[in-house]
Amino acid sequence: MEFKFTEEHNALRAEVRAFLADALPDERGAGPVRPTSQENWPEQMDFMKKLAKKGWVAPAWPKEYGGLAWSHIKQMVFSEEISYAGAPDGGRVFNVGMIGPTLIVHGSPEQKAEHLPRITEADVTWCQGYSEPGAGSDLAALQTRAVRDGDDYVVNGQKIWTTGAHHADWCFLLVRSDPDAPKHKGISFLLVDMKSPGIQVRPIVNMAGYHEFNEVFFEDVRIPVRNRVGEENNGWYVAMTLLDFERSNVASIAANQRQLEMLISDMKARRPGGAYRDILRHRLAELWLSNETGRLLSYRTAWMQEAGRIANYEASVIKVFATELGAKITNFGVNQLGPAGYLEPESKHAVFDGNMEKGHLVNVSPQIYSGSSEIQRNIIATRGLGLPRD
């Protein structure tokens, strides 16, 4: 593995930083990364339009699908700078990181032509209809039904923890199309217009006070058969392709670095004394070392992909490492800042505008969604270490 960036990579990093300095509000450079939230949706959409003008919504995609055919390493450099700056997500995780690449692999020519240009032009937002009240980590236990009726499927059921459903234009949806088939069979992958009659979205407010998650109810929702991705009853394999895309990113590590830099600045400014100072110094050094390790793990995954190798359990390694480390950093942060570290952003005494406290609460979720840390460790144990399943 080459540990140095090329001149091209360094030039891209400088270009992205210059763009972000102009495109983002000044306050985004003044503290820890603002925790992911969909409260400021107009700001997020405005930023996405700015990316679209640069052709940077999905720069790693092939040119025929609206991308720039960037290498994996270039994409990582870009993602690292975007995340470090605390730029709004604007649905990029679902649009660019999940459904787009899945359609490139499994979509029909008509589906690609309809949906991919709208993603790269920042004209559409997607959400994910996977989890259900009785099917989370055991996703194959899902029960939302799709019954074929001529040229449509009629869908009934419920999804939960659906991030951004209250803003989304479209949803990629897993349904059980053959209830008599084995557990991982009989599942189909559908694309549904969120304006379809029979869809009801109810908010779920998380413990940080943000409305990101939703319950989504489907009552006799008609979805055209042409909106099925892949073969009928073979949607599980399409879904697994999507999850492999979802888990391969450097965003968490870049956000972690920003948090650590602000904590280091705070400690330099306050200069605590005695044994407490040494405890903080050593703990900060350990966290910084861990995050540098995570950055190398992230770039190793991109390097493997660029070399044509499949990064499977390696993506699980970085998912566990980065999300758990993020929680450790913000937990340490609110304690380092003392009583003020637990104040909400609305308080005039809040340090860093309360973003460390919000991050402390928000960082619980990433260890659960997209495959919990326990599921990721099972993948590492079986696929990475070759340990038996039972």
Q: Which amino acid is at 127?
A: C
Question: Cβ distance 262 to 32 under 8 Å?
Answer: yes
Residue 120: φ, ψ to 5°: -70, -20
DSSP 8-state class, residue 230: S
Distance CA 20, CA 18 (A): 5
Hey, how many other C-beta atoms are within 10 angstroms of the C-beta on 388?
A: 6
**The token pair that represents 241 in the structure block:** 């392709």
Is residue 246 annotated as part of the catalytic site, yes or no? yes
Active-site option among 132, 246, 314, 324: 246
Q: Which amino acid is at 47?
A: F
Residue 87: φ, ψ to 5°: -65, 150
Question: Cβ distance 155 to 145 under 8 Å?
Answer: yes
Q: Which amino acid is at 101?
A: P
Distance CA 242, CA 135 (A): 17
Distance CA 99, CA 122 (A): 14
List, by residue number, the catalytic residues.
246
